[in-house]
Amino acid sequence: MFSFTERILPCLVKAVSTTMRYLKIMTIAFSALIVPFIISTVASAADLPPMPAPLIPGPNDGRIAYMTARLLEEYHYSQHPLDMEMSEKFFDGYLESLDPRRENFLQSDFDEFAHYRTNLDAFTIGGRGRADLTPAYEIFQRFLQRLQQHVAYVDNLLKQDNFKFDTDERVAIDRHDMPYPKNLADAQHLWLQQLSYEYLQEKIGREISATNSDLILPLSKTNEAEIARNLAHHYDWSFKMLAKWDSTDVLQAYLNALTHAYDPHSDYLNTAHEQQFSMEMSLSLFGIGAQLTEDDGKCTIASLIPGGPADKSKQLKEKDQIIAVAQSNQPPVSVVDMELSKAVQLIRGPKGTQVQLTIIPADDPGARHVVTIIRDEIKLEDSEAKAQLIELPDGHGGTNRLGIINLPEFYFTIDLPGNNGNSTPKSTTADVTKLIQKLEQQKVGGIILDLRNNPGGSLEEAVKFTGLFIKEGPVVLARSPDSPVATLSDTDSSQLYDGPLVVLVNRFSASAAEIASAALQDYDRALVVGDIATHGKGTVQNLNSLRQFVWPAEPDATNDPGTVKITIRKFYRITGASTQLKGVMPDIVLPSVLSYSTQFGETSLENPLPWDTIPAVNYDKLNLVQPYLSQLRVRSNARIATNQDFIYVRQDIDELQKLQADKTATLNEHEALKERQKINAQIKARDAERTRRKIADEKIYDITLENADMPGLRAPEPMTVTNFTGDFYTFTNHETGLLETNTANWKAEVKTLPPDPTLGETEQILEDYISLLNANHTLIAK
């Protein structure tokens, strides 16, 4: 099983501020807010950003599209032919992928292309082994034209600077299900309102900030001009990036619309996306070990990965700009104004190969240096399993020790062609085994498996992982459309860990994470705690390389045909119930903003497969949780009722529900300022209250795969962080001859680390669980 393509947000801890950020990005406004004559502003031809030459398909693209469609028809779980029904979903999905807010395409465009809506099946599979990609390119070219008009219109509005925010208008904040604008004038009105909202949010953000204690500071003309420049740059950059698309990008978007017509987790992966997928699953890549970002058209080094080739070379540093890339002795290729993902592809390459980078040093903008680096394997350690040992007072002068295993995803090694088998094998189960053995050496009384925000990964790793905590038995059932239900079991009769176990999940726990948590819950082996339900992805995908079907279809073809990721099976709990759509419902539900958001979960995606059931299989229920569940819930509910952080969470839930019900935002500056002041005041009050709290009497020891083999434990992590502010300077101490720093004017501000009330309550639930097991003399034997 592979992680779903929507790389999810980490968490909505502060619902109000996060929702406001979402509104700032996503809002489309409709209002007569600005003086009417601006609406009639029409960009002249000279004002329009230049349009690139129309694209044409690559030599292999027709064959790629045809085989993608045929593989979907043959292997997808639904066994649905590419017919008129799928054609309509395909068409709608393609327009949606280009214009998700329905602000650029006009209804007249939709009507003009309507004949494609019911005929994309014929265009795709009606030919002799090749798809006709005319619809993809005609629609994309029209979208580029509309975006060009949008950007030019916005640029003219910003030059006129006639923004006023003194009406009572409110604007719709989500146009996903709204009609396309009727005509260009209607679209211009939408563009005007969207820009107004963005301008207002930028203005308020400068007028009220943490540095001016919520006082309203009217902006100077200089600041207002800066807002206009920033917004104009954002719009211009958006058009420039899309104008740089080539036929590979269009094919990627078009075929993803086709695969998503079948379900949201089937994908077409061109070479770049295929390598990215392999990198995420394997937790490694082959390159120079630098994190890159785009800065005004320049590929800029954001940071260096410690121990990577770039770091070891001592030739690169943060904020250096890469302007050209050359492979070994090949001529350099300029990457200025190149889409960042394409520049990254040039810089990455097989282990042991040479890449030459032409850079502009951050500290010498007038210079140009050529840096030669040998590529190597880069480990993505942030996504590896890791552990913590929590030491808590037991109330009797001693301490309790709890273990936490944090698992960001279920990874394993995918060695793509070109890597030449150089990938270092990675295994979730092997890594977790190492961490648990370390925790058991430290005599932990129980373990929490933190699967929050875990998007899934390998089905096989999920089964092996579950087997660490049970004796042999079925773990998950899998059904294909044309074969009997398969039972995937743990066949190893040994059990690595047999102590008290809690699984912590949230709305972003999906796929393989749902398999493991569901199995441990069904066996009554572990107590599941978290949001009201997990994501709800109950499907299995496999990778189908197109190389054998396509490459090379034409002598002049240069593009690799890529891979199709296809949903081929659904998986079911050993009880026979699917996790599809419904997810896993915890034994103890904790208050969470995510539980009430309509933006997350399988039900929020397009074309999800339905929920259903199949017959259960036989398994031995361990009865280790149910006898204590009612007592655990009573104790947890009592704590939650008075826990101040959960009181804040319930307040955030109320605010989110109001925003979701209203679906509008104000364009009145006075009202918007009041809302922002209210939010800032609430955040400050919460921070102040948390600062007054007594620091928790506990010690936290971090355990990584790197230090798990070392004796003992590292020093515990600090429970506070100290920020220093004020003037300082360096000087030479004439008595010692040493360079020293004068910190006499520094002010030290000590802050406690941000709370994680969900994890804190889960720790207390585990402590309760351990005490109940001990009181009842419950033993778990290997």
Query: What backbone torsions phi and psi does residue 104 show, to the nearest 5 degrees?
Result: -110, -50
Closest-CA residue to 390 (of 382, 398, 399): 399
Q: How far apart are CA 105 and CA 181, in angstroms?
A: 7
- On whether both 257 and 349 belong to a single domain, the answer is no
- On whether both 416 and 502 belong to a single domain, the answer is yes
Closest-CA residue to 476 (of 514, 526, 530): 514
Q: Provide the CATH number for the domain around residue 634.
A: 3.90.226.10
Give the pLDDT mean for 24-52. 41
Closest-CA residue to 143 (of 250, 224, 61, 42): 250
Contact indicator for 564, 267 with CB cutoff of 8 Å: yes
- 222 Cβ contact partners less than 8 Å away, ≥ 6 residues apart: none
Tokens at 20, concatenated: 């406001």
Q: What is the pLDDT of residue 739?
A: 45
Q: Which amino acid is at 565?
A: K
- Out of 330, 360, 379, a domain closes at 379
Contact indicator for 12, 204 with CB cutoff of 8 Å: no
CB atoms within 10 A of CB 73: 18
Task: Examine residue 737 and state whether it is found in any structural domain, yes or no.
Answer: no
For residue 769, give Cα distances in angstroms to 392, 444, 498, 506, 766.
Answer: 15, 14, 14, 20, 5
For residue 210, give Cα distances in angstroms to 216, 608, 680.
Answer: 11, 43, 8
Task: Examine residue 516 and state whether it is found in any structural domain, yes or no.
Answer: yes
Q: Which amino acid is at 153?
A: Y
Give the pLDDT mean for 178-189. 95
Task: Examine residue 733 and state whether it is found in any structural domain, yes or no.
Answer: no
- On whether both 338 and 443 belong to a single domain, the answer is no
- On whether both 364 and 386 belong to a single domain, the answer is no
Q: How far apart are CA 636 and CA 630, in angstroms?
A: 10
Task: Examine residue 175 and state whether it is found in any structural domain, yes or no.
Answer: yes
Closest-CA residue to 384 (of 404, 424, 411, 422): 411
Task: Examine residue 503 and state whether it is found in any structural domain, yes or no.
Answer: yes
Task: Examine residue 159 and state whether it is found in any structural domain, yes or no.
Answer: yes
Give the pLDDT mean for 96-118. 96
* Residue 724 confidence (pLDDT) above 60: no
Q: What is the pLDDT of residue 273?
A: 66
Give the pLDDT mean for 24-39. 26
Per-residue pLDDT band for 295 (boundaries 50, 70, 90) equals: confident
| Residues identified as active-site | 511, 522, 537
- On whether both 410 and 480 belong to a single domain, the answer is yes
- On whether both 660 and 525 belong to a single domain, the answer is yes
Q: What is the pLDDT of residue 407?
A: 96
Closest-CA residue to 187 (of 135, 95, 109): 109
- On whether both 362 and 256 belong to a single domain, the answer is no
Domain that holds residue 589: 381-693+759-774
* Residue 87 confidence (pLDDT) above 80: yes
Tokens at 399, concatenated: 């301490």
Report the predicted TM-score, pTM, of the whole model to 2 decimal places: 0.82
- On whether both 68 and 202 belong to a single domain, the answer is yes
Task: Examine residue 111 and state whether it is found in any structural domain, yes or no.
Answer: yes
Strand partners, 401: 391
Q: How far apart are CA 479 and CA 483, in angstroms?
A: 7
Task: Examine residue 726 and state whether it is found in any structural domain, yes or no.
Answer: no
Q: Provide the CATH number for the domain around residue 375.
A: 2.30.42.10
- On whether both 134 and 210 belong to a single domain, the answer is yes
% helix, strand, coil for the chain, step of 5? 40, 20, 40
Give the pLDDT mean for 668-688. 90
Using omega within 30 degrees of 0 as the cis cutoff, is the peptide bond preceding 552 cis?
Answer: yes
Instruction: Calculate the average pLDDT of the chain.
Output: 84
Q: Between residues 494 and 13, which one has the greater pLDDT?
A: 494
Give the pLDDT mean for 276-302. 73
Counting the structural domains of the chain, the total is 3
**Using one digit for the tens of pLDDT, what is the confidence trace for 475-506?**
999 999 988 999 999 999 999 999 999 999 99
- On whether both 365 and 434 belong to a single domain, the answer is no
Tokens at 373, concatenated: 């680096």
- On whether both 78 and 206 belong to a single domain, the answer is yes
Q: How far apart are CA 725 and CA 740, in angstroms?
A: 18
- Out of 364, 379, 394, a domain closes at 379
* Residue 302 confidence (pLDDT) above 70: yes
Q: How far apart are CA 312 and CA 327, in angstroms?
A: 20
Q: How far apart are CA 596 and CA 578, in angstroms?
A: 22
Q: Between residues 720 and 338, which one has the greater pLDDT?
A: 338
For residue 656, give Cα distances in angstroms to 19, 604, 663.
Answer: 7, 17, 10
- On whether both 412 and 528 belong to a single domain, the answer is yes
- Out of 346, 379, 412, a domain closes at 379
**Using one digit for the tens of pLDDT, what is the confidence trace for 587-645?**
999 999 999 999 899 999 999 999 999 999 999 999 999 999 999 999 999 999 999 99
* Residue 5 confidence (pLDDT) above 60: no
